[in-house]
Structure 1
Amino acid sequence: MESLRTAADAPRERILAAAATLFYRHGINATGIGELVEVAGVSKRTLYQQFASKDDLVAAYLQRATQSGRLLDRRLEQPELTPRERLLALFDPPPPTFRGCPLHNASVELTEPGHPGRAVIVAYKRRFQERVTEQARAAGARDPEALGRRLSVLFEGATALATSLDDRDAAFDHARPLARAVIEEALPTDG
């Protein structure tokens, strides 16, 4: 893999870019420090000046992932859609480059309860459920909390299955009609 080094990029940014690419493509545990520094175009010393440990780098990578516009749950923010349509848009097929939710993928690998990345994952996933609930409330759901929980579980299941089977379309093709039924059952009929 070629280096991500450009003259304008600071070492920290190159390291985070390399981590984002390698951790998402190969996994956190399968990506070694040697490969990270090679792709980032930095020395090990520079990496450890920027991040005290690989665990700290992982936490920073996950935090960066929560702020990127590439996560599927950004569909909840599409201003041209109604709240009802945003809820259903979560279940549109993912892009061809989809290899699962980076936070979910990391949660499978980070088995140590005290890992700094776990806190990032838990906070983001809880906020995701709150955001789904907010859209359910805006759509007029009779019980927005219940709808938010159900859709969150269905969405997480679809993304995990798509990753496990390496078949992004099948999981979402099956989840979308279920999501539509759950949404329609929870929302008042248009009238």
Structure 2
Amino acid sequence: MGARTSTSGAARGGRGARERILRAAGELFYTRGIHATGVAALIEAAHVSPRTFYVHFPTKNALVEEYLRRFESETPIAAEAELERGDLTAAQRLLAIFAFEGDSPAPIRGCPFHNAVVEGAGQLPEVASLAQRHKQAFRDRLAATAAEAGAVDPETLGRQLAVIFEGANALAASCNDPHVFADARQAAKTLLDAALSPAPGA
């Protein structure tokens, strides 16, 4: 997932404390869940004092928001990063987002933005706003890549591929089943082939 980073062995306090807190959040929020991860667990994993923690993040919600922002900059979601690859054609990049690699015994956790919104249950408006912005940006990237691939209606294709991708992530996480992505890729390929086929009589 790219969000999992070991935080063991770090020195207590001092320089780099903020980064250690964010690494702890990236690991614990994603694997355990936001509500299940208390501030005490974050402090222990990051090897910082409570005072240091609150100097950098006055509230846990502030840390949740920064945890999500890092997926838009420093630690992009691996599947979404496939759209930026320079060694694949546009059509290949659209299908590459459905690849699932790894044989880790850890449960599939799905999309961190989706998980955060569900856990927030409408009580974290800033988190919801971050998720909406991220999902819209992802749809825009899909549409732009579809246009590059030569789709006649790239906006529609981008939205459709987003629905398949988000559905596959949610189902794979709910059932802990990576095979979902193979079915999603085949469905996406069917849509892509149709979108790139010349119109009858053309």
**TM-score normalised by L of structure 1:** 0.91
- CA-to-aligned-CA distance 1:102-155 (integer Å, 9 cap, x gap): 112112111235532222111111000000000000001010000000000000
How far the C-alpha of 1:69 sits from its partner, in A, is 3.6
CA offset at residue 70 of structure 1? 4.0
Task: Report deviation, 1:83.
Answer: 0.4
Q: What's the offset of the Cα at 1:90?
A: 1.2
Counterpart selection for 1:149 from 145, 152, 159: 159
Superposed displacement of residue 92, structure 1: 1.3
Trace 1:85-96 onto structure 2 (pairs within 5 A).
85-96=92-103
C-alpha distance in structure 2 between counterparts of 1:152 and 1:2, whole Å = 33
Supply the distance in 1 between the matched residues of 2:77 and 2:118 (Cα, whole angstroms).
20
How far apart, CA to CA, are the structure 1 residues paired with 2:197 and 2:9? 51
SS in 2 for 1:93: coil
Counterpart for residue 139 of structure 1: 149
Find the residue that maps to 2:122 and give its secondary structure.
Answer: coil
Could you tell me how far apart the structure 2 residues matched to 1:81 and 1:125 are?
Answer: 23
The Cα offsets for residues 157-188 of structure 1, whole Å up to 9 and x where unpaired, read as: 011111111112x2102111101000001113
Residues 121-130 or 86-95, more deviating: 86-95
Moved over 3 A (4+): 1-4, 6-9, 94-98
Whether 2:86 is the aligned partner of 1:106: answer no
- Cα 1:163–1:4 change in 2 (3 A) is farther
Secondary structure of the corresponding residue to residue 36 of structure 2: coil
Cα distance in 2 for partners of 1:62, 1:94 equals 23
Q: C-alpha separation between the residues in 2 aligned to 1:12 and 1:118?
A: 24
Of 162, 165, 172, which aligns to 2:181? 172
* Separation in 2, partners of 1:156, 1:9: 38
Which one of 161, 186, 192 corresponds to residue 183 of structure 1? 192
Paired residue type of 2:149: A
Structure 1 residues not aligned, in runs of 5+: none
Equivalent residue number for residue 52 of structure 1 = 58
2:127 maps to 1:122: no
Q: Give the counterpart letter for 1:182 in structure 2.
A: L
Question: Which structure would you say has the larger RCO, counting Cα contacts within 8 Å and 6 or more residues apart?
Answer: 1
Q: Could you say what the CA RMSD is over the residues aligned between the two structures, in angstroms? A: 1.9
Q: In structure 2, what is the Cα distance between the partners aligned to 1:2 and 1:15? A: 9
Does structure 1 retain, via aligned residues, the 8 Å contact 2:23–2:46?
Answer: yes
Q: Is 1:61 aligned to residue 58 of structure 2?
A: no
Q: Which residue of 1 aligns with 2:40?
A: 34
1:43 aligned to 2:85? Answer: no
Identity of aligned residues (%): 42
Whether the aligned pair in 1 keeps the contact of 2:7 and 2:20 (CA below 8 Å) is no
Kept after mapping to 1: 8 A contact 2:151/2:195: yes
Number of corresponding residues = 188
Structure 2 unaligned residues grouped into runs of 5+: 1-5
What is the rounded CA distance, in whole Å, between the counterparts of 2:167 and 2:101 in structure 1? 14
